[in-house]
Amino acid sequence: MSTSTDTNPTSTPKEDEQQKDPKWKGQSRTLKICHWCAKKQEPGVKPFQACAKCKEVIYCSKECQVASWPHHKGPCKSAVESKKQLEGKPELAQQIAVFKKWHSTNVDLLRHAFICALDLGHNPTAATTNLIFIALTLKPDHATQPARAKYTVHNGFTLTDAEARDMLGAQGPQGLQMLENARQNSEFMRKKGGLGLARLLLMENEKKMVDFTTIVLPSKENARLAQEKEDWGEDWIEQLRLALP
Ligand SMILES: [Zn+2]
Ligand SMILES: [Zn+2]
């Protein structure tokens, strides 16, 4: 399944020049930074305005919002549509909220799993052509577990874009839309430098899609260092399972 030898002929040398880890401004609202220029919102001053459509990203100025729109248009539309699908489905919305908490508290481990699974320290372009699939199960005692410990990982593998499309196609149009959304966001990030976004497909019991999520990747150099320090190698899913709370 792994295609870590894939190369991306469209990748630019700019990726190599990037030293610092980029910030993923798709999380601009949580990080309190402008989605376009990454300016930090200081306390005590007028709060940045959120995108009126999706309310997921914030801008320091009208100028930044206008400049960002051609890039934000696609992801914005998907975000609005995903929200619409959750209307009148409190159970699903609740399940996704639980999952998002789990994901955000374990993001460093998931990122490391992604780096090792795709061997990004040696094949940095693999992030553009591949994603990883992780199957999760709610622990039997999940109700009494803290957010970060609600799920167990029981399976995982790498997928090419085409394989992911096949798999998500079976989930209906929304799955494909999420995949496309993640691809666009990742491309946006690569233009800003760095390796783009890790794209993770998380499913519960391998049948029902829980979420399709992205994690900002470190620079090429930092990916190499992370793998040098601790390489989970082929055994990444087992190592992830052991490392998770
Ligand atoms: Zn700005
Ligand atoms: Zn928006």
Taking only the tens place, the pLDDT of each residue in 49-81 is 999 998 888 899 999 999 989 888 887 887 788
- From ligand 1's centre to the CA of 54, what distance in Å? 17
Pairing of strands 197-204, 130-138: parallel
Domain with 72 in it: 23-87
Task: Report pLDDT for 141.
Answer: 93
Question: 104: part of which helix (H) or strand (E)?
Answer: helix 90-105
Q: Which residues are bridge partners to 213 per DSSP?
A: 200
Among 57, 87, 117, the domain boundary falls at 87
Task: Report pLDDT for 22.
Answer: 46
Question: 8: part of which helix (H) or strand (E)?
Answer: none
| Residue 133 sits in the same domain as residue 217 | yes
- From ligand 2's centre to the CA of 78, what distance in Å? 9
The Cβ-side half-sphere exposure at 116, using a 13 Å CA radius, reads 22
What sign does the dihedral 203-151-153-225 (CA atoms) show?
Answer: positive
Among 60, 87, 114, the domain boundary falls at 87
- From ligand 1's centre to the CA of 17, what distance in Å? 24
Mean pLDDT value of segment 72-100: 80
- From ligand 1's centre to the CA of 43, what distance in Å? 16
| Residue 106 sits in the same domain as residue 55 | no
* Distance, C-alpha 25 to centroid of its chain: 12
The backbone torsions φ and ψ at residue 216, rounded to the nearest 5 degrees and listed phi first, read -70, 135
> What b/e readout covers 65-104, taking b as 16+ CB neighbours within 10 angstroms?
beebeebbebbbebbeebeeeeeeeeeeeebeebbeebbe
Whether 218 maps to a domain, the answer reads yes
- From ligand 1's centre to the CA of 55, what distance in Å? 16
Task: Report pLDDT for 228.
Answer: 95
- From ligand 1's centre to the CA of 188, what distance in Å? 16
- From ligand 1's centre to the CA of 42, what distance in Å? 13
- From ligand 2's centre to the CA of 57, what distance in Å? 6
Ligand nearest to the CA of 34: 1
Asked whether the predicted pLDDT for residue 218 surpasses 80, the reply is yes
- From ligand 1's centre to the CA of 233, what distance in Å? 40
Whether 12 maps to a domain, the answer reads no
Whether 3 maps to a domain, the answer reads no
Asked whether the predicted pLDDT for residue 201 surpasses 80, the reply is no
The residue that leads in pLDDT, 100 or 138, is 138
Asked whether the predicted pLDDT for residue 182 surpasses 90, the reply is no
| Residue 154 sits in the same domain as residue 47 | no
Whether 33 maps to a domain, the answer reads yes
| Residue 94 sits in the same domain as residue 106 | yes
| Residue 139 sits in the same domain as residue 69 | no
Ligand nearest to the CA of 61: 1
- From ligand 1's centre to the CA of 70, what distance in Å? 15
Asked whether the predicted pLDDT for residue 25 surpasses 90, the reply is no
| Residue 58 sits in the same domain as residue 175 | no
Mean pLDDT value of segment 127-141: 87
Ligand nearest to the CA of 36: 1
pLDDT level of residue 16 (50, 70, 90 thresholds): very low
> Of 23, 22, 79, 21, which is closest to residue 50 (Cα–Cα)?
79
| Token pair in block for residue 161 | 């874009």
Whether 1 maps to a domain, the answer reads no
Task: Report pLDDT for 10.
Answer: 35
CA–CA gap between residue 153 and residue 137 (Å, rounded): 6
